[in-house]
Amino acid sequence: MHELVAVLDFGSQYAQLISRRIRECGVYCEIIPHDLPASELRALGPKAIVLSGGPASVLEEDHPGLDPAIFELGIPVLGICYGLQLTARMLGGRLERGLAREYGPAAIDIDDTGRLFAGLEDRLDVWMSHGDHVSVPPHGFTILAHTPTCQVAAMGDDNRKIYGVQFHPEVVHTPRGKEILRNFLFTIARCSGEWTMKGFIEESIRAIRAEVGNGKVICGMSGGVDSAVVAALINRAIGNQMTAIFVDNGVLRAGEAEEIRDTFTDVYPLNLDIVNASEKFFAALSGVTDPEDKRKIIGRTFIDVFYGEAARIGGADYLAQGTLYPDVIESRSAKGGPSATIKSHHNVGGLPEDLRFTLIEPLKELFKDEVRLLGRELGMPDSILQRQPFPGPGLAVRILGEVTKENVAILQEADRRVSEEMVKWEGYRDVWQSFAVLLPVKTVGVMGDERTYANVIAVRAVQSMDGMTADWVRMPHELLARISTRIINEVKGVNRVVYDISPKPPSTIEWE
């Protein structure tokens, strides 16, 4: 087994970022609920424990806590922000309620240039985000850094190997944050940093074989990168015991089903089964306008189709899908974890409670960029790996209002023109997603001498690292003009195009 760092999650939006940074150091890391008992945590055998930040105040009753025995395990601990405050509080330090929330850039002065801050300058730019602060560290701790308004910007106890920082080393606004994490991981916790994709593949293959034995697996393919990589990985592990199923649900992009067939029969052959179930999906979606309802209906219909296919191939006990780490975190929060629920989306959201398959989700510990690395390691071509993400519910969440065949046809045509123009642009490689959205409003236009009253298409193009945050693409006006002209002139039923200039947060990438 690879060595593990456990990030205990107190509801920080940054818990995943902490995890990413640690993995970037070649150390495998998992986010774990903050209330896991110390005995269970010890059983996981972590080399180090990181306590994340979080929105609560430790000065309030009922704040999320942690099993105090965790501090007695002899495993190095690093508390970040809320994690530091909780450490201070639980080990006997003093905390003060901040008069105002300190949020944004700050400079810390280093009081101890060993251990956590070894090899770094005496003054560091950091990103602060906190209300309360530690005024007196617990017995046995020394102050490692301070700012004029925050006496304890970092503290540590070398004997117990427990440390804490008030700022966020995981965000890019703390330029030397990675070095601080590296000092913790390698100097203090003595991690080896040998986690690689090759190792991950070997371990996954072993685990899949052990779990499935002689059983049969069906793998739901969406045409996106994640499910393609899952299918390739499982195929590597158990060959034709796996059937990859691509469901044409009627809300795909133009030409998608054909593209998938060509790719996975010629370019990267897999045991692929294409099922046309579009009528079933349209019937289920008829009259439905609520985004959450749409997602759930689509999820359920997928599962129905999978049951049918499982029966057709003589029974399959397992369903594999390309759930990624961010999906797991979001569905965990949907089930009452400490962070807020944003949308009940992704593969996990639409599954029925009484699912008759055992789920196999070999990517559920990975981030998107790691999945691409994994695919590369499995010999998959860029034509598959560099595809833009596409949501499981497809165009249904890009048609605001009811999904009808007519609406799908309009959106497919508009979307095809967005894609055709985008791929010609030299900046395309840096675009996370670019697509069209069909709005449920009609506006007045004039074409020739005729008044028109037709649909509006919104164009969305975003840059992102992992889909968790995103910003709209500053694309050239000429490109926007070409997209707009083509859509308005060539797509019947559209007389207006707008460009979405909203970042995530506060908006989301998809409109539903």
- Contact residues for ligand XMP, defined by CB under 6 A: 295, 343, 345-347, 389, 391-393, 433, 467, 504, 508-510
CA angle 77, 374, 344 (to 5 degrees): 70
81 is catalytic: yes
Q: CA–CA distance from 370 to each of 229, 361, 373, 473 (Å)?
A: 11, 15, 5, 23
CA 507 and chain centroid, separation: 16
Q: What is the maximal distance between C-alpha atoms in the chain?
A: 83
DSSP state of 53: -
Structure-block tokens of residue 499: 């460009």
By the 8 A CB rule, do 42 and 199 touch?
Answer: no
SS3 sequence, 64-100? Answer: CCCCHHHHHCCCCEEEECHHHHHHHHHHCCEEECCCC
Cβ proximity to ligand XMP, 151 vs 464, nearer residue: 464
Q: Which is nearer to ligand XMP, 81 or 251 (CB)?
A: 251
Catalytic one of 130, 133, 168, 345: 168
The residues pairing with 504 across neighbouring beta strands, listed in sequence order, are 470
**Residue 160: what are its φ and ψ, rounded to 5°?**
-90, -5
Residue number, 25 or 303, with CB nearest to ligand XMP = 303
Of the listed 25, 29, 81, 191, which one is catalytic?
Answer: 81
Among candidate residues 3, 130, 170, 421, the one labeled active-site is: 170
Helices (H) and strands (E) in the chain, counts: 15, 20
Nearer of residues 363 and 483 to ligand XMP, judged by Cβ: 363
Whose Cβ is closer to ligand XMP: residue 415's or residue 510's?
510
Measuring CA to CA, how many Å separate 419 from each of 436, 461, 499?
9, 10, 14
CB of residue 286 to ligand XMP, shortest distance in Å = 20
Q: Which residues are catalytic?
A: 81, 168, 170
